[in-house]
Each structure stands twice: as structure tokens, then as C-alpha cells.
Amino acid sequence: MTADRTGLADIGLKTIVDLRTDTEREGAPDPQFPGVTELALDVLADTTSIALPANIAELLADPAVVAQMSAELTVDKAHSLMASTYRDFVTLDSAKRGFGDFYTGLLDGGRTPALFHCTNGKDRTGWAAATFLSLMGVRTEDVYRDYLLTNDRLLPAMQPMVDRFTAAGGDRRLLLPLLGVDTAYLDAAFDQVRVEYGTLERYFGEALGVDAEAQRELRSRFLVTPV
């Protein structure tokens, strides 16, 4: 943690954008940094689904929770639930407000550099990163490559959680769709953008309130022209 604090101080961090639900934030509040503003954007406030709680590690070691998951969940259903959540990132009013405020904040020079996160840093954070990179003009295959790094870099760190789940009688295959990422999840969100808005630029303009001029300003602010 000390090294992390030092690294954030070195870049002059000004804003922490928290994409979690109120319940998640209450269960695991962000650490405080002097001079850094926290911006809470509950993008899933309007969902009928349940986000992974902050104490997920403890829950997945509870035999009663494991038994309930095993009875109610299948691998296919887990994949379907995740894909549905990604479509929510595009359709929910709370998601439009939240991600819109996220991008508005990036346009405010007084709020950057900024750090953004959710609970596991892969879904809500993954969609924010994927849309940002796409708007910047990054190739689709590179956007997906960046997104899928979760499976290489985050899943191994979650192995102890998986081990506790299996020790409590669970099937690890049920967890992988929830703890990892899949191209189908990002496909679902981008497909929803195409269905409702046609293009990413129209999604930014109509859903997020980031018009063409603001989009150009974002590119100007965050892209560096090679010398």
C-alpha cells in the first residue's frame, strides 16, 4: 500500500472515480489521499441484478452460499448474466449518467490525472476503459487484448478465493465466468451500442451527453502526436 500511495502521489493524482454501488462502497471504503477528490458514480444503481459484493471472498467460502449457487447457477447462466450486465452498461439510465459524468470529469483539467475503479476492476471499469480507448481510435483488436488481460493478471490473484469455494463444495467452473472476462461480454455491450445508437460517437453524444466537440476535445487532451 505504501508503494501504491507513493506511485499515485508521483503522478499528481487529483480524482478517484468510484464506479461501485453504495453497498460496495460502504463495505470497503476507498483509502483517503490528501488533496484527492473522490467521485462516486453508481452506474448500476438502476439494475435489478446484484453486483458482486465487497466481501465476496468471505461469501464464497460459506458452504450455505456455495450450496445455493450450485443449485441455482450453471456455467451458461453465469455467462448469460454477465452479458446482460454489460448490456445494462449501455441501457440503464444510471449507467448513462455515471459514464457521462466520468467523461465530463475527464474534460475538466482540474480533475485529472484520475484513477477509476469498481470492485474487481474488470466489468464497469472494463467498459469505461474499452469505450475510452475506442473513442481515442485504438484498434478494436487492441481494445479487446487490453480487456482480456484480466484473465492473465487478475484471475491468478483470485486463485485462493477459488480454492476456498471448491473446498466448500463448489464447482470452480461456476466462478470463472463471474471472476474473469470473456469477449462475449464486451461484444454484448458494443452490440447494444450498435442496436440503440448505430455508432460509438452517437452513443457518446446521445447517451452520455458528450457531443462531437467534446469528443474532439477528449482526443486532443489525451492523445499524443508522435514526434
Q: What is the pLDDT of residues 37-68, one digit of tens each?
A: 999 999 999 987 655 555 677 778 889 988 98
**Distance, CA of 147 to CA of 105 (rounded, Å):** 22
Q: 227 in a domain, yes or no?
A: no
Residue range(s) defining the domain that contains residue 167: 2-222
Query: Residue 30 in contact with residue 115, Cβ under 8 Å?
Result: no
Query: Residue 78 in contact with residue 174, Cβ under 8 Å?
Result: yes
48: CATH: 3.90.190.10
Q: 38 in a domain, yes or no?
A: yes
Residue for cell digits 470529469? Answer: 105
Q: Alpha-carbon torsion 116, 122, 126, 127, what sign?
A: negative
Query: Residue 81 in contact with residue 49, Cβ under 8 Å?
Result: yes
Q: What is the mean pLDDT of residues 106-135?
A: 94
How many structural domains are present in the chain? 1
pLDDT in tens, 153-190: 998 998 998 999 999 999 999 999 999 999 999 999 99
Q: 44 in a domain, yes or no?
A: yes
Give the pLDDT of residue 109. 82
**Distance, CA of 110 to CA of 155 (rounded, Å):** 35
